[in-house]
Structure 1
Amino acid sequence: MFQLLIIVVPIGLFVAAYFTTSRERYLNRMEFFVRIVVLLVVGTGVVLLTSSQSVDATLGALILLCVGLLIGYFNLRFQIMRLQDLRWSPFFALLAYVPVGNLIFLLVLLLLPGKPKVNAEVFS
């Protein structure tokens, strides 16, 4: 049962992020970096708060699960928006689930400049 969740949850998060992300919204490198750092700070803060002695273990685990799913969802949305700026397929965001490949993919998203917009996109 647990093995099935390892497959279903990431695919479900990707499908939700894919269908709720606007095709006209892009993130440049700086916007992407700032949003990823905010997610990192929020995630770290939640982990530190739920690991304290004053929080019940069951409640802490439930909070971590909910916040982890939200962070995963927004991370995928931000990656899809950054991929749209690069004019790449949004399905490359699935590389976020490949061990070690996700770190390389994140560096690529942070370092590659976006493609220039054509006139039809600028004036619409």
Structure 2
Amino acid sequence: MGLGIRALIMVFMTIFTLTSVANAAEGTATFYTPPYVPSSCYGYQNNGVMIAAASDAIWGNRAACGRSYRVRCTGATNQGVPQPCKGTSVVVKIVDYCPAGCQGTIDLSQEAFSAIANPDAGKIKIEYTQV
């Protein structure tokens, strides 16, 4: 009986993990540097440093303001660049708009980008999910 329950738990954990990964969107991330105010969403309100600017892909005419996203680096965008990812993820709050011509899906604060990847990469591949 104990072995059967363990097997069932493992099956449910695997399904949950695969479902979570399947729901993640893929894109790219860049970063911007301080000062982080004013922002399109909050004017001169300070929202800390774990923040980001949304590109047109997720901006939704300001609907993205205040949303939080878990962002994970998945690799380099340029061939020949060493693996920039640190193997961690970060949760950021959308506080700004990355205007047309934005180089990434999400433009992370320098601190958020540095938490998940080597800033020397400049641009990385990511998976992101709204949390």
After TM superposition, the score normalised by the length of structure 2 is 0.26
Larger helix percent: 1
Taking structure 1 as the reference length, the TM-score comes to: 0.27
Higher relative strand content:
2
Query: Which fold has the larger relative contact order, with Cα–Cα distance below 8 Å and residues 6 or more apart in sequence?
Result: 2
